[in-house]
Amino acid sequence: PRSILFSRHGESLYNQLGLLGGDSSLSPNGAKYARALPFLVSKIMGDHKLTVWTSTLNRTIETASYLPYKKIQFKALDEINAGLCDGLTYSQVKQKFPEEYVTRNQNKFEYRYRGGESYRDVVLRLEPIIMELERQQNIMIVSHQAVLRCIYAYFLEINSEELPYIKIPLHTVMKLTWTAYGCEAQMYSLDI
């Protein structure tokens, strides 16, 4: 059966500090994940050859760097643009933009960051990627939390209210497989 692999990038320096967005490199833990990833992927896929799709941000490119496959970068796979909140922590967002913080919590899917994007915007920009994925075999996507929530929700038919809260853990490869009954998800976590 057809299957697709997804992973978030390994832990980044910004993740360690709890900062949104940015274009930081991997932390030492994240780099460990990147080095372990080829072994995990070959355990999951055997010796099937894959094509790896990353975003254009350092943390996904670094995460994929040891995978011995062809790689393609897509801007459409970049993380949700947090606009004026880029580089802040959630508590700084709450302090600086209290009303925005409340609005986002009321409707996380529709909330558009000032100067940035909403989850709905991300879903729209992912449309060509999803169309292409429907036709492809043996793809691994290395991207970001918000983007992977959107892709996962599309294939698992999760509604837009729940979409922004889907758990996409770090240091985990998710495998989607199409069966006669629909799409199934399996998770393979590395303890790093």
Binder to ligand F6P among 4, 5, 20, 50 (CB under 6 A)?
20
**Binding to ligand F6P by residue 164, rule CB under 6 A?**
yes
- The interface with ligand F6P within residues 123-162 (CB under 6 A) comprises 144-146
Distance from C-alpha of 32 to C-alpha of 190, rounded to nearest angstrom: 10
The Cα–Cα gap between 147 and 164 comes to 10
Q: How far apart are CA 67 and CA 89, in angstroms?
A: 31
CB of 164 to ligand F6P, least distance (A): 6
Give residues 71-90 in contact with ligand F6P (rule: CB under 6 A): 79-80, 82
State yes or no: residue 30 binds ligand F6P (CB under 6 A): no
Q: Is 9 annotated as a binding residue?
A: yes
Give the DSSP H/E element, type plus range, for residue 56.
Answer: none
Q: Give the whole-angstrom CA distance, residue 15 versus residue 24.
A: 9
Annotated catalytic, 9? yes
Q: Which of 62, 79, 100, 117 is catalytic?
A: 79
Q: Find the helix or strand (DSSP H, E) in which 150 lies.
A: helix 145-156
Scan for tokens 């209210």, then name that residue. 161
| Site residues for ligand F6P per CB under 6 A | 15, 20-21, 79-80, 82, 144-146, 164
Feature table: binding site for substrate: 8-15, 59
Residues labelled catalytic: 9, 79
